[in-house]
């Protein structure tokens, strides 16, 4: 009877241990997925998509909307990412080395320069200022994180998510709508993204909070005052 009880106890402990490891593994997979999907360079494109779907800009011809979205995708995602990858490979660095604070200056600068170039190109279309403000907000976020990163590591993922919060507040003033529902969703999203960065041990709580605050303030200023 004692042996049977002992075997049952050990089996239960093994089952609990496996369950914990399995739960931790799933949590880390979810955190990696969030970090991959909600990358900061995706938010400018997301901002333009939202404007084209939920505002009167949906009346624009699809050819013009498609061209603008293509230019934004090239200038804020594809070209800077390829440039950073080429720069990293030219230095013989593995990808994980870019997570170190002292190695992040050049990638931030590359993205910032491409954002400036993209804004210059889109100005040729004479877009409304609140549309160009998305790129101005992104430039402010990139520039602020670049400067802060010279002294202290800050979460760019959290800054991008915080930028969505700041942008929503700015657009609620511009278009006179109640942002409560979408603001709640964006705050929840920012919390999930920040939590994923801490679970993956890329940032601590203060780096995530600072990134969220910087992103929200820069996005509001860039969109509302621009």
The residue with greater pLDDT, 212 or 35, is: 212
**Cα 134 from Cα 56, distance rounded (Å):** 17
Q: What value does the mean pLDDT take over residues 43-52?
A: 91
On whether both 4 and 88 belong to a single domain, the answer is no
**CA–centroid distance for 30 within its chain:** 16
Asked whether residue 19 carries a pLDDT value surpassing 50, the answer given is no
**Cα 134 from Cα 142, distance rounded (Å):** 12
Of the pLDDT bands very low, low, confident and very high (cuts 50, 70, 90), residue 12 is: very low
Burial bucket for residue 92 (CB in 10 Å: 0-12, 13-18, 19+): exposed
| Helices 79-90, 105-122: inter-axial angle, 10-degree rounding | 150
Asked whether residue 99 carries a pLDDT value surpassing 50, the answer given is yes
Contact (Cβ atoms closer than 8 angstroms) between residue 46 and residue 81: no
Residues in the chain: 226
On whether both 101 and 156 belong to a single domain, the answer is yes
Q: What six digits make up the tokens of 138? A: 């992104």
Q: What value does the mean pLDDT take over residues 44-64?
A: 89
Domain count across the chain: 2
The predicted pLDDT at position 189 comes to 92
Q: What value does the mean pLDDT take over residues 11-16?
A: 45
- Note down the domain range covering 1: 1-26
Over its C-alpha atoms, the chain yields an Rg (Å, rounded) of 21
On whether both 16 and 75 belong to a single domain, the answer is no
On whether both 67 and 160 belong to a single domain, the answer is yes
Residue pLDDT, tens place only, 125-170: 888 888 889 999 999 999 999 899 888 989 999 999 999 999 999 9
On whether both 161 and 124 belong to a single domain, the answer is yes
Rounded alpha-carbon distances, angstroms, from residue 186 to 34, 43, 138, 189: 14, 12, 17, 5
On whether both 1 and 85 belong to a single domain, the answer is no
On whether both 156 and 71 belong to a single domain, the answer is yes
Asked whether residue 16 carries a pLDDT value surpassing 60, the answer given is no
Rounded alpha-carbon distances, angstroms, from residue 26 to 19, 21, 158, 197, 204: 10, 9, 22, 15, 21
Backbone angles phi, psi at 167, to 5 degrees: -65, -40
The residue with greater pLDDT, 18 or 166, is: 166
- On whether residue 31 sits in a domain, the answer given is no
- On whether residue 4 sits in a domain, the answer given is yes
On whether both 55 and 148 belong to a single domain, the answer is yes
The predicted pLDDT at position 22 comes to 64
On whether both 2 and 101 belong to a single domain, the answer is no
On whether both 219 and 108 belong to a single domain, the answer is yes
**Cα 173 from Cα 108, distance rounded (Å):** 30
The predicted pLDDT at position 67 comes to 93
Most confident of 47-51, 54-58, 103-107, 218-222: 218-222
- On whether residue 74 sits in a domain, the answer given is yes
**Cα 38 from Cα 41, distance rounded (Å):** 8
On whether both 10 and 42 belong to a single domain, the answer is no
The predicted pLDDT at position 21 comes to 64
> Which residue in 191, 187, 224, 208 sits closest to 145, CA to CA?
208
Number of H helices, E strands in the chain: 9, 0
On whether both 55 and 91 belong to a single domain, the answer is yes
Of the pLDDT bands very low, low, confident and very high (cuts 50, 70, 90), residue 101 is: confident
| 2-11, 45-54, 104-113, 204-213: least confident range | 2-11
Q: What value does the mean pLDDT take over residues 178-198?
A: 92
């Amino acid at each position: 009877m004692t042996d049977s009880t002992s075997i049952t106890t050990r089996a239960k402990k093994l089952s609990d241990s496996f369950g914990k490891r399995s739960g931790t593994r799933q949590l880390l997979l979810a955190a990696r997925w969030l970090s991959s999907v909600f990358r900061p360079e995706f938010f400018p494109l997301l901002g333009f998509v939202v404007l084209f779907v939920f505002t009167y800009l949906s009346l624009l011809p699809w050819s013009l909307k498609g061209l603008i979205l293509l230019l934004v995708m090239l200038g804020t995602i594809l070209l800077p990412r390829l440039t950073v990858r080429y720069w990293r490979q030219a230095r013989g660095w593995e990808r994980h080395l870019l997570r170190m604070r002292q190695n992040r200056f050049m990638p931030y600068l590359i993205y910032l320069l491409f954002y400036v170039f993209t804004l210059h190109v889109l100005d040729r279309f004479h877009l409304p200022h609140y549309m160009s403000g998305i790129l101005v907000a992104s430039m402010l976020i990139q520039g602020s994180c670049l400067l802060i990163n010279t002294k202290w590591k800050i979460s760019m993922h959290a800054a991008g998510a915080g930028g969505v919060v700041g942008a929503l507040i700015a657009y609620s003033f511009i278009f006179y709508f109640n942002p409560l529902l979408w603001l709640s969703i964006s705050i929840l999203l920012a919390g999930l993204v920040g939590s994923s960065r801490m679970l993956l041990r890329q940032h601590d709580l203060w780096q995530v909070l600072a990134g969220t605050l910087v992103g929200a303030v820069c996005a509001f200023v860039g969109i509302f005052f621009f």
